[in-house]
Amino acid sequence: MTDAQRALAHAFPKDFIWGSATASYQVEGFVDEESKAEGRATSIWDTYAHVPGNIADGSDGSRACEQYTRYPEDIALMKELGLDAYRMSIAWPRIFTSLEDMRAGRVNRKALDHYTCMLDALREADIKPIVTLYHWDLPQYLQDEVGSYGGGWANRETALRFGDYAAALAKGFGDRVETWTTLNEPWCAAYLGYAQGRHAPGVRDDAQALAAVHHLNLAHGLGVAAVKAELGEKAQTSVTLNLQVNRAATDSLDDRAAKAQADRIANEVWLGPMLDGAYDPQIFEDTRAVTEWSFIQPGDLEQIHQPLNSLGINYYCTQTVRRAPAQVHPQNAREDPIVGGTNIDILPPEGPLTAMGWNQEPGGLRDIVLEMSARYPELDIMITENGSAWEDELVPDEAGEGELTVHDPDRVHYLSEHLRALNEAREQGARVTGYFAWSLMDNYEWALGYSKRFGIVYVDYPTQRRIWKDTARWYREFIRESRAA
Ligand code: GBH
C-alpha cells in the first residue's frame, strides 16, 4: 500500500461501511439433485443458460461457488477481510417453489431456514447483511404462460407477486435484516432481458422491454410498501440502480441532446417514478414508435413513489454518445440500438480497457455521486457495486510455502482510483455511507459464464478453493487503515 493510499484510507470516516457484494444465482449453486429435496423452482437463468449459444462457455449456475453450502467458510473469509457488511440476494425460486405455492402464500420452510442460518452466522461474525430481494433470478413459472400468468416482467402479475414475495421475506427475516434493497439494476433486467435478449429470459421486443420497465418500477413500490407494512420504520429501504454515466461526444447541441435522451431511457425511467413520482413526459415522446405505455394504470405512480432511506449505485464505466449521423457508425451497427434511441450512436470505449472491454473512468463515479447527492439530499448513497475483471493467473505465492495467489495490480489500481474519486465526492459534500467491492469472489458472470473474473478472491472452480488475490490483501489493509489513526 502506498502512502497516498494510506492517507486516502484515513480520509474516510470511522463509521463508513466497507463491504463486498454477490448475488444468489452467481454464487449459490445447489440447483441440481441435492437441492431437489430442499425445494427450488427453475429460474429463468437456468432455462436461458441451457439454450446453446446463450452463454460464452456453455456453463450455468448449477455449481457456481457453492455458497449455499459453503457459507460458513465464506463468512469466515469476510471476517478475515474485515468487512463490515455483505451485500447478498435471496433466490425467489427457493422461497416459492411453484405457482400454486406462491398463490397460496405457502413459503418453502427449508429455504427460509437456510437463509435464517446464514443471516445468523453473519450476525455472529458481526457482519451486517444488505439484502437484495431480486437480482435477476425470476422463477420460471412467472415466465411461462399459465392463465393470467406468464411473460415475466412484461406482465403486471409479476409485479404484484413480487409484493407478496417481499412481504414473505419481511415476515421471515425481519428481525435479522435491517437494510432491504428491492431490485438490483432493473436496467439490465428490462433491457438486456427483454430488448437485447442478452440476459434471461432472452426476449427481443422493445415494447415488452418498456412494459418490463414499468412493472419493475411497480414491483419496487409494492416491495417497499410491503416491507414497511410488515416491519415499520425500523426497516431501511433502498433500490440499486446502475445509473449510466453518459458523456456527449462533443459540445454540439445535437450531441448534448443525444446524451440527455440516453440519460432519460437509461436513468430517468427509474429515478422519475421511484424518487420524483412521475415519468418525464419526454420519455413517452422518445418511445412513441415503440409503445403507448397503456400498461400504466391509475394509482401506479403513487404506489411506485415510496420514501426510501438510501440509494444504491452500481458503477463500472462511462460511455460516450452522439447524435447518430445519417450513416450509422459501423461499430454501433453491430450493437443493439437503444430502446427509443435508434438515433443515438454509442462510440467505442477508449483504453486502457478491462477484460470486459469497459473503460476505466473513476471521475464518472465522482460525478454521478455528486449529481445524485445534490438531487436527493435526504438520501444516503451507497456504492453497492464497483469492480473490474482481468485475466487473472494463479501463480505460486513467494510469501507462503506451497500457497497460490494472483498478482492483480490492475484491479488494485482500479479499486484505489475509484475510492479516491468517491472520497472526492464525499469531501465535496456527498452523503456516501458505504462501498461494496464487486465481487467478494469470482462467480458466474451471467452470459459470460465463468470466463470473466471480478472477485477480489479467486475461486478455483474444480476444487472450490478460495485463493486470495493481491486485491483482497490490499482491501483488508485499506479497511484496517481507515479505522486506524
Ligand atoms: C453488474 O451489472 C451486475 O449487478 C452483476 O451481477 C455483474 O456480475 C456485474 O455488474 C459485472 O458485470 O456493456 O460495454 O456498454 C453491470 C452491468 C455494466 C451493464 C456496464 C452496462 C455498460 C458497458 N452493466 N455496462 S457496455
For residue range 363-379, list pLDDT tens digits in order: 999 999 999 999 999 99
How many Å apart are CA 211 and CA 88, to the nearest integer?
A: 27
Q: Which pLDDT tens digit goes with each residue over 20-44?
A: 999 999 999 999 866 678 999 999 9
pLDDT value of position 483: 96
pLDDT of 357 > 50? The answer is yes
> Measured from the CB, is residue 188 less than 6 Å from ligand 1?
yes
Q: Is 45 annotated as a binding residue?
A: no
> Measured from the CB, is residue 317 less than 6 Å from ligand 1?
yes
How far apart are the CA of 218 and the centre of ligand 1, in A? 23
From 188, 346, 440, mutation site for ligand 1 pocket: most ligand atoms within 8 A of C-beta: 188
* 185 is an active site residue: yes
pLDDT value of position 449: 98
Mean pLDDT, residues 178-199 taken together: 98
pLDDT value of position 401: 78
Do the beta carbons of residue 355 and residue 414 sit within 8 Å?
no
How far apart are the CA of 390 and the centre of ligand 1, in A? 14
pLDDT category at 336 given cuts 50, 70, 90 is: confident
pLDDT value of position 333: 54
pLDDT of 426 > 90? The answer is yes
pLDDT value of position 334: 46
* ipTM of the complex, rounded to two decimals: 0.90
Query: Exposure of 69 by Cβ count < 10 A (0-12 exposed, 13-18 middle, 19+ buried)?
Result: middle
pLDDT of 212 > 50? The answer is yes
pLDDT value of position 326: 66
Beta carbons within 8 Å of 106's beta carbon, 6+ residues apart: 96, 100
> Measured from the CB, is residue 365 less than 6 Å from ligand 1?
no
| DSSP designation for 435 | E
Beta carbons within 8 Å of 210's beta carbon, 6+ residues apart: 190, 287, 290, 291, 293, 339, 340
Q: Is 153 annotated as a binding residue?
A: no
Q: Is 335 annotated as a binding residue?
A: no
Buried b (16+ CB within 10 A) or exposed e, 289-315: ebbebebbeeebbebbbbebbbbbbbb
Radius of gyration of the chain (CA): 22
Determine which helix (DSSP H) or strand (DSSP E) holds 433, and give its type and residue range: strand 432-438
Q: In what order do the strands lie in the sheet with 318-323?
A: 245-248, 318-323, 344-346
How far apart are the CA of 144 and the centre of ligand 1, in A? 26
* 100 is an active site residue: no
On the question of a cis peptide bond just before residue 186, with omega within 30 degrees of 0, the verdict is no
3-state secondary structure of 191: helix
How many Å apart are CA 361 and CA 317, to the nearest integer?
A: 6
- Adjacent-strand bridge partners of 344: 323
pLDDT of 5 > 50? The answer is yes
* Region for residue 449 given its phi and psi (left: phi exceeds 0; alpha: psi -120 to 50; beta: otherwise): left
pLDDT value of position 463: 98
Question: Helices in 335-456 by DSSP H: which ranges?
Answer: 362-375, 409-427
* Region for residue 200 given its phi and psi (left: phi exceeds 0; alpha: psi -120 to 50; beta: otherwise): beta
> Measured from the CB, is residue 358 less than 6 Å from ligand 1?
yes
| Catalytic residue selected from 28, 185, 361, 424 | 185
How many Cβ atoms from other residues are within 10 Å of residue 349's Cβ?
Answer: 17
pLDDT of 296 > 90? The answer is yes
> Measured from the CB, is residue 242 less than 6 Å from ligand 1?
yes
pLDDT value of position 34: 62
Beta carbons within 8 Å of 72's beta carbon, 6+ residues apart: 121
How many Å apart are CA 231 and CA 228, to the nearest integer?
A: 5
pLDDT value of position 382: 98
3-state secondary structure of 104: helix
Mean pLDDT, residues 55-81 taken together: 98
Do the beta carbons of residue 456 and residue 450 sit within 8 Å?
no
How many Å apart are CA 440 and CA 86, to the nearest integer?
A: 9
Task: Name residue 412's amino acid.
Answer: V
Determine which helix (DSSP H) or strand (DSSP E) holds 95, and give its type and residue range: helix 92-95
- Average per-residue pLDDT in the chain? 96
> Measured from the CB, is residue 445 less than 6 Å from ligand 1?
yes
3-state secondary structure of 113: helix
Mean pLDDT, residues 36-58 taken together: 95
- Adjacent-strand bridge partners of 434: 17, 382
How many Å apart are CA 441 and CA 455, to the nearest integer?
A: 4
How many Å apart are CA 408 and CA 410, to the nearest integer?
A: 5
pLDDT of 309 > 50? The answer is yes
| DSSP designation for 469 | B
pLDDT of 240 > 90? The answer is yes
Do the beta carbons of residue 380 and residue 13 sit within 8 Å?
no
How far apart are the CA of 252 and the centre of ligand 1, in A? 29
Q: What percent of the chain has pLDDT over 90?
A: 93
